[in-house]
Each structure stands twice: as C-alpha cells, then as structure tokens.
Structure 1
Amino acid sequence: MRAQLGTPFDAFDDGDKLKEECGVFGVIGVADAANFVALGLHALQHRGQEAGGIVSYDPVQGFNSARRFGYVRDNFTKADVMSTLPGELAIGHVRYSTAGSKGATAIRDVQPFFGEFSMGGAAIAHNGNLTNAAALRKELIERGSIFQSSSDSECIIHLMARSIQTNISERIKDALRRVEGAFSVVAMTRTKLIGVRDAHGVRPLVLGRVGDSGWALSSETCGLDIIGAEFVREIEPGEMVVIEGNKVLSTRPFTPAPSRFCIFEQVYFSRPDSILGGRSVYETRRQIGVELAKESPVDADLVCPVPDSGTPAAIGFSQESGIPYAMGIIRNQYMGRTFIEPTESIRNMGVRLKLNVNRALIKGKRVILVDDSVVRGTTSRKIKDMILEAGAAEVHFRIASPPTAWPCFYGVDTPERSKLLAATMTEDEMRDWIGVDSLKFISLDGLYRAAGVEAGRDPKAPKFCDACFSGEYPITPSDKIAEGFEMKAAE
C-alpha cells in the first residue's frame, strides 16, 4: 500500500474546551469514492481538526492511503493527492489525539490504520477510546506484536492478526470482543464496507444510501447531507453491518448491554444540523436554553451566546425568558489553525484572537452569557474580563451542561480530574473564581428533559452516558484504575 504523509500543526489552542474525539466516514459503490469521503470528512471537521487520512481500494492499484496534519480542505481537495486514491471503496478519519501522542512526530497515529492479512488487506477507522488498551498492548507486545503507533486503535489491527477466523469480518468481530470501552468503527476490505458500534452505543454512526448502488457510513447525518446521500438509519448499539455489492448484512456480535449514548454529543460535539436518535441536535440545544431559563432566571437586558456552540441554547433562553437575544461577542471567522508559532506576547492575547466584544451593544447592559460548558474556567474568566472592559453593568453566566467534574475515558480529550474546575469547587466558589455576578448550570434532570426524556434522569437506569457530570461510568476504565484513578464512591 502506498502512503503519503503531511506536516504539522496548530498554535492557538487554549486548552479550555473538550476536544470532539474523532470522526469516521466510508463509501462503497461509487466512482471516485475517496472524493466522497473527503467531502464527508469536511462535514465532520468539527470532530477532529488535528489530522485526517483516507484509504481507498482499486482492483488494479490495490490499497492506497494519504495522511495529513491539518484541515481536510487544505489537504484532500488537491488533485495531486486525490488522484492517488482511486476506486469505488474508501474510508476516512479526522482526528483529535485523545489517546496516543500529539504533535509533529505523531503522523504514525493518524488513521485509518491498515493491515495485510493472509486473506487480503483491511483498513479501520475508529472513533472512541478503548479503556483496556494498555493491558491489551502489553499482552500483544509480549506475544510478539510490533506496534507502529501510540494509538489505542492499533490494538484492533493486532487482535485481528491473531484471530484464527478465515475472513476479515469475523476477525473484526473477534478483535472487538476483546476490547473494552467506546467504539464506532468504519472498516474496509477489498470488497466490503463495514460499520460497528460498541454494545452501549456511546459514539454515533449512521447509514446512508448514495444513488442507486452506493452506501455510506458516517459519524453524523451532516456527513451524509454533504454528499447528497439519503439517511437510512442509525447503526444500533452492538450492531455490525457488512456492505458488499448492494446488500447490507446486519449481525449482533456482542453481549447486549444498556444503551448509553454520550449526552455531550447533544450538548456540544455534534453539529447542530445533525440528527441524533431521531432528534434534531439544534432543537435539543435550543431546549436546553429553555430549561435553563426556567431553572435559573435572572433580570438582565441581553442574552448573548459565547460563539458558536452556545448559540442555540442562548436562543432558547431568550425565547423562554423574553430577554432580547443579541450577538454581544463576535467570532473571528478567519482565525482557523496556523502553522506559524506565535510569540509569547501574541499567545497571551488568548481568547481575543478568536473573539471580540460588540462594545456598542454591551456598554451599560446587564448581560447573560450562555456557553456550552466550563472545563478549566480560564476561558470563562477571560470572556468575563472582555465583557466588563466593554462597559457591561453586570455579567451572568448560564451554562448549557451540568458541571463537568469527571474526566471522560470514552474518546474525549478531558483534563485530569484535578484540573476540572467543578471537581474542586462548588458552584458558588466557581462563580467567585470566575468573577461574575451569577453562575448557574443546567441540572442533569433539565438536560435529560431537553434531550427528550420528559421524566428527567432515572438514577437507576440513565438513558445516556453522563459520566463527565455524574461520575457514573457505564464501562469500567480498567487502564485508568490500574494507574490509580479513583472511581466515585458508591452512595
């Protein structure tokens, strides 16, 4: 397989937002499938902006791959790259490094990963995180496996290599039965496109129809929209689909488990124009704002979103409260990522490089700022300072998620628990530390109601994975416990 590499990287990451794990996409049965995959990855760019890769298969040229750091638009729109990826079958991946190393030396960690087996080649792209990867890696290395990356996802390829099954699909099943954690996997052989979700369905994966003979798999429905594919259905938790020719074969290779879809997909990760669980992400976020306004009203003059993820919730808050909605903060749409290392004085400008206050609107006003989350709290302090410097009379924060007090081990780049503001402070202490007139988070019950569960959260059987808020992990993080992580004490 021929492979092409790229160069790094980024400069202005303030480290105070949860990173959106990864995005996966695959297409079969269309000419120039890699071009469709590039479009799909472009639509999923919000899920991973560090790097991307595409693998394609052509009967004459075999498997081919290209891996690059940076945006899809900067790498996979060039004729000299895309011409090296022929065929009617291709898969792709966009990445944030939630497991494995980061930076210029980590091109080896960029997916999809490829393996050559006795029955032919196969490539896999994985969204999620394996919670027993360290133990598996140690076992595999002791048995002779040679790893090429630091990514947990490579364990799947090595487990496939050690399977005694006689076809790739069965080897994937074998491998995924050994892993723990969260995974939505898109894989390919010479003739098949394969999609799999873990038994809890933590990460999303959807199936679409492309014309009369093609099929697509995508992390979100917005990936289907960009290529004009018809949404067919979600891949269900614990389901594996194998697409060959014009047929889709569905199996259930894993022990059934309660569904625990990541609720933060609704709050922040997924694009607002996507559909999750039959429900509009935008509508869920707008409804979060409605619930916030009911739970935590405040007298003010303006409701302003922190762009862009706070916008739908701010609209809902305004509609419910009757307080006017306004764009009090403007995002620099051309900020993007850069390959130039900034000076220290420029780096210290931090948030100001991305956001600017609409001074004429804010001056003298009591302002409600609506944001999706508070992680370390440093960005919230900087935004508050900017609003006050612009002449605001009062600043109130309303947060469209409960306090993030626990790290995620299922594919989200979360700081260690001691660095999460909500893990060390009460709500009032956070308010004083950020320096605002009031700070309120939506309750877990309110979040569940906004997501369509009218009764709120059932503490005995929650519908979603909400471990980052509740500390209740549906899948035991074995590796982290072995490293000394302390689980929440039983109540």
Structure 2
Amino acid sequence: MANLELPPNRPEIDKIQEACGITAVFSKTGELISPITPSLQDRLQHRGFDSAGMAAYKDGKINVYVGQGEVNAVFPESFNFKERGLISDRAIGHNRYGTSGGDDKDDTRGCQPAIGEYQDREIAIAYNGNLPDKVRHELKLRIPKELRDSMFDTEDIANAIVSAKGETWEEKIENGLNGVDLAYSLTMLTDDGRVFGLRGPSGTWPLWYGETDDKIIFASETRVYKDGDIKWKEAEQGELIEATSSGILKRKIFEEVPLLRCGLHDAYGAKEDSLITEGITYADFRRELGRELARECPMDVDLIVGVPDTGLVMAEGYAGQLRRKSTILIGKNGKTPRSFIAKNLEQTADIINKKFRVDEEQAKGKRVLLIDDSLIRGKTMGGHQEKGLKGVVARVRDAGATVVHLALTLSKFVDGCDMGYYIKKGQLVAMVRGDDGRYEIRSRQEIAEAIGADSVNFLSVNGIEKVYEKMLGEKNIACMACMGQPYPLDIIKSKKLSIEASIFVR
C-alpha cells in the first residue's frame, strides 16, 4: 500500500487541468540517488509553481510526498528524506501547473505523483498534459465503476493502467491506454520497483531520457541535468521506455498518429537552454521564428526590443534578419513566476508590477518594436486598469517612447485549448462576443487599440509551418488549434480513416 502524505487543506473544486514538469531517476548501481529528484524538479520550476512532489520505492512499497508551492518550499534544505521513506535508488517527480480558472486551484488532490490502486496492484504516475473531455470520457468507460469517480484525469490514467488486463506492467500500460492518442507524457513507478517513461502517440508533450555510466534520468526538458557525460535522447511517439540496471529498454506500444507538437509550448513553455530535438535548442528554434517574423513583417523603427524572457532571443533573430542588433530595453527584477500561468488577474498584476523595468534613457523619443512569443489574454501587454495592472506597452510609452509597435511569433489565438494549457475562448484578446452571443475575430488594429499599441502584427500560420519544417523536419508539425487550425482529434481521425481506406483498396 502506498504511503501518501498531503497537507490537510482539501477544499472542494470544480475541475483542474495541467501542463506540468515530470522527471524520474534510476541508479544502475543501486546508489541511493532519489534525493536529487527535487533538484531536477527545481530546474523545471517554470513549468508549474502550484505544487511539487515525488514518489520513491522503498522496502517493497511506493512512498509519496507532495505539497503546495514551489519545489524549494515543499523540499527545503532541512527536508528529511529518510523520515518520509524517500531514500531510494529510484524515484519519480512532478511540478504542477494547475489551471482550474477558479480560486480553488490549490486543491491538494491535484498534486502529483498520483497513485492508482486496484486488486492489490498499484502504480504511481507523474503526468504532463491533459486529456480532452471526449478522450477522458472514453477512457473512464474502460475503468471499473468503483474507480470512475476520480476528479482528475491524472487519476483516470493511473486507474486505467492499474485495472487493465495483463500480467506484466507493459501489458497493463498498453491495454490501459490503447486508443488514448493525446495529449500526455508520463513517468511511472510500479509496485515492484520498475521505472518507466511513456510519450503519448501524438507527441504533443515532450519526454527525454538520458543515460550516464551510473544512472538514467527521464525529464520533460534536458536542462534538468547537464553533466557532460549524459547522452540525451528524445522519446518517440508511443514509445515505452524502461530504466534498468543494464541500461535502457524501449519498445513501441502504440501506433504513431500525426506528430502534433504544442506550438505554444515550443514558442513559450520550455526554457530556451533545453533541447527541442537532438542537436537543436529551443533558443535556436525561437531565433528562427524571429527571423521568419522579420521576413514577413519588417518594420522601420529605432529599437527592436525583446520582451523578457522568451522574446529576447526572438528579437535577436528578428534584428539579425534585418542586419541589425536588438536592444535590451526591458529588464527583469529577479526571479518571478510566469504571468501567463498566474492563478488570477490579481496575481498577474503583482507579477508584472514586480517583474518589468524599462530603461527610460534608451526609450526616450524612440520608435520601439516589441517582440514577444504570443498575445493570448492581452493582460501582460495591455494591462488591466481596474486591477491596478499597467501593461508592458504602457510602461514603454511612459518611459518616453513616441511609438510602440508589437509583433508576435505566433498567430492570433482565436480558440481555447483543452490539451494542457487552460485557455478559454472568452478570455482571448483577439475575440469579442457580439450581442447575439457569437464570437468574432478582432482585426489587428482593434487588438492594437485594446492593448494601447500603435500596431500589432502576427507571424502567419504558414510562416510557423516553415520554421518547423526548416528546423525540425517535415514530420514535426505544430498543433495550432488555438490559432484556428484543425483540432488534433479531427486530424488523427482523418489520418486513421485514410490509412484504413488505403488498406481496403489494396
């Protein structure tokens, strides 16, 4: 039986969705390395600030410890791993980005790793992603009735695996998740001490595994461990990977569907020093997005300015394409959470008010072009007067800029997301609801007026596709459903029907 420790506060909530950071560690020599798990998770802190946790295998059972807040708050220097049963040669870890949209998003039941238990078997999972409602509903139907009242899709996944047919864990994982094409990556720790990683068939969320002489590490991003002797490999779609004392064992357990990387994650979510694919960093990819933006939208301005953090390297690419240099005009005040994944507008305002400072000496009298990854809700750029939030555009103008333009390396966001980033259509700055209740897409000028900029430009969908093909190859395409492109489930269904038709013709 797993030993699960939680803080006592357990308020009722409606629904939580997640796009988080996951890890796993395994010693090939039996060394008790599980205490390095929080340090790995700390390097994924940007992926979620709401909670952190880990599970370790000790004396024939899985012990889990989770808590609210950042990694260093849950696992301070004084944390007693031995007392919690977390000293082991294997463990998995998790950071949570919870996105319920309500004030109860800190419900500790959403903390991970989560445990699935059924008929004396159990498994702990750390999960990055989110199951769309249709996928989750279909998954629930295959779970025994007594396990269907789970609140979180994390629990649904764990319950589907642990209750599935099969003598081995490989069989249970394959049978439990067969047909669940998107959108997830997992690390798993079983009741007999086995450690697995699995990247879902759509490949929407990343998973990497690295091996040294004495250990194996799984992670959402390669920045977690940079010792020179590690060899990082990107998990393939539908690939189940096991860490063993003799090395890596891997097998394809699910057929590939079209690879649908999250476009927002690649432009914004991951840290730029991590690999996006072998040999190419997110910084390389984002710099090319900036170049493509310059090819599509060259502008005559005095200063080309990246908005920290992701906009900085994009501005470098934009300026470089025009044979110019970008300017560091906006500084950051230390380490702050990411404003997009703040719990509410009050927290967004607090983050931005602390985060940005503009160099007035450089800005005065200048025409400024701000470069950033995306414009979603518009609060970071445009602010919110009632909440005391002054946006970046107003801050640059107040610093003395005569003109402030904005250019984004992603297209207009015109629809919500239910695959990991909790985005509601009604929150989008590019959408407005008419008197008849229908949503309409705002023009670029209307969006500019809404955020106080002189103009707004977006990289086209075609431009984004060019960058993916150039940097990652034809196979790597982006899911851009939030930007008005086809919904992944429709793409996958169409592809499967096409394959079935070709088989029938032959």
TM-score (norm 1): 0.84
**Cα pair distance change 1:370/1:244, threshold 3 Å:** same
| Cα 1:347/1:201, change in 2 over 3 Å | closer
Q: Secondary structure at the match of 1:185?
A: strand
TM-fit CA distance, 1:392? 0.6
Assess, with a 3 A threshold, how the Cα gap between structure 1 residues 122 and 134 changes in structure 2: closer, same or farther: closer
Q: 5+ unaligned residues in a row in structure 1: which ranges?
A: 10-18, 339-343, 479-491
Once the two structures are superposed, the pairs formed by residues 364-403 of structure 1 within 5 Å of their partners are 364-381=365-382, 382-403=391-412
Aligned residue number for residue 193 of structure 2: 191
Distance 1:56 1:462, change over 3 A: closer
Does residue 420 of the first structure (1) align with residue 428 of the second (2)?
Answer: yes
Q: Give the aligned residue type for 2:429.
A: L
SS of alignment partner, residue 80 of structure 1: coil
Q: Larger deviation: 129-138 or 443-452?
A: 129-138
Does residue 54 (structure 1) correspond to residue 71 (structure 2)? The answer is no
SS class of match (2:310): coil
Q: Is residue 400–residue 441 contact of structure 1 (8 Å, CA) maintained in 2?
A: yes
User: How far apart are the structure 1 equivalents of 2:338 and 2:308?
Assistant: 17
1:306 aligns to 2:307 (yes or no): yes
Q: Deviations over 1:355-409 (max 9, x none)?
A: 1221111111111111111011122122111111111111011112111222222
Distance 1:417 1:389, change over 3 A: same
Find out whether 1:112 has 2:113 as its counterpart. yes
1:408 aligns with one of 417, 431, 434: 417
Q: Give the corresponding residue for 1:207.
A: 209
Shift of 1:48: 1.1
Q: Separation in 1 of the partners of 2:88 and 2:239?
A: 27
Matched, 1:440 2:457: yes
Taking the aligned partners of 2:91 and 2:223, their CA distance within structure 1 comes to: 18
Does residue 296 of structure 2 align to residue 295 of structure 1? Answer: yes
| Gap change, CA 1:43 and 1:98, over 3 Å in 2 | same
Aligned-residue identity in percent: 28
**CA displacement 1:134-166 (0-9 Å, x = unmatched):** 52576478822264x521111012222432312
Equivalent residue, structure 2, for 1:464: 478
Give how far 1:33 is off: 3.0
1:241/1:138 CA distance change after superposition, 3 Å: closer
CA deviation after TM superposition for structure 1 residue 38, in Å: 1.3
If asked which structure has higher relative contact order (CA below 8 Å, sep 6+), I would say 1
Given that 1:115 and 1:123 are in contact with CA atoms closer than 8 Å, whether structure 2 keeps it comes out as: yes
Letter in 1 for 2:215: G
Distance 1:422 1:2 in 2: 47
**Maintained 8 Å contact 1:53/1:93:** yes
CA offset at residue 332 of structure 1?
Answer: 1.4
Supply the AA of the counterpart residue of 2:209: L
Counterpart residue number, 1:269: 269
Residues in 2 aligned to 1:82 and 1:345: alpha-carbon distance in whole angstroms = 36
Contact 1:20 1:269 survives alignment (8 Å): no
Matched residue SS, 1:265:
helix
For 2:112 and 2:346, the matched residues in 1 are separated by 35
Match of 1:22 in 2: 20
Letter of the 1:113 partner, please give it.
A
C-alpha distance in structure 2 between counterparts of 1:182 and 1:33, whole Å? 30
Residue 347 (structure 1) shift: 8.1
**Corresponding position of 1:473:** 487
Amino acid at match of 2:194: K
Asked if the contact 1:406/1:471 (under 8 Å) is kept, the reply is no
| Distance in 1 of aligned mates of 2:223 and 2:175 | 31
What is the one-letter code of the residue matched to 2:66? Answer: R
Give the residue type in structure 2 aligned to 1:449: K
Could you say what the CA RMSD is over the residues aligned between the two structures, in angstroms? 3.2
Deviations 1:318-348 (A, max 9, x none): 222244422211211144599xxxxx99986
Shift of 1:182: 0.5
Deviation at 1:239, TM superposition (A): 1.0
- Report how far residue 75 of structure 1 moved: 2.1
The one-letter code sitting in structure 1 at the alignment partner of 2:403 is: E
2:175 is matched with: 174
What corresponds to 2:284 in structure 1? 283
Q: Which amino acid aligns with 1:251?
A: R
> In the aligned structure 1, how far is the partner of 2:26 from the partner of 2:228?
14
Structure 2 residue runs of 5 or longer lacking an equivalent are 11-16, 340-344, 383-390, 432-440, 493-506
- CA shift in 2, pair 1:323/1:7, >3 Å: farther
1:295, 1:442 within 8 Å by CA — same for their partners in 2?
A: yes
Query: Is 1:82–2:81 an aligned residue pair?
Result: yes
Worse-matched range after superposition: 242-251 or 195-204: 242-251
Deviations 1:259-316 (A, max 9, x none): 2222323211111011112222101111111111221111111111111121100111
CA distance in 2, matches of 1:49, 1:250: 32
Change (3 A) 1:138 1:213: closer
Moved more, 74-83 or 233-242: 74-83
Deviates more, 1:318-327 or 1:405-414: 318-327
Amino acid at match of 1:196: L
What is the rounded CA distance, in whole Å, between the counterparts of 1:253 and 1:442 in structure 2? 37
What is residue 498 of structure 2 aligned with on the other side? Answer: none
What displacement does 1:183 show? 1.0
Aligned partner (choices 446, 456, 463) of residue 429 of structure 1 = 446
2:415 is paired with a residue whose SS is coil
Aligned length: 458
**SS at 1:97 equivalent:** coil
> What is the Cα deviation at residue 238 of structure 1?
1.2
Aligned-partner Cα distance in 2 for 1:404–1:418: 11
Distance in 2, matches of 1:455 and 1:164, equals 38
Letter in 1 for 2:291: V
Aligned to 2:467: 450
Instruction: Tell me by how many angstroms 1:202 deviates.
Output: 0.9
Which amino acid in 2 is paired with 1:64? N
d(CA) in 2 for partners of 1:275, 1:4: 34
Question: What SS does the aligned partner of 2:243 have?
Answer: strand
Distance 1:282 1:462 in 2: 17
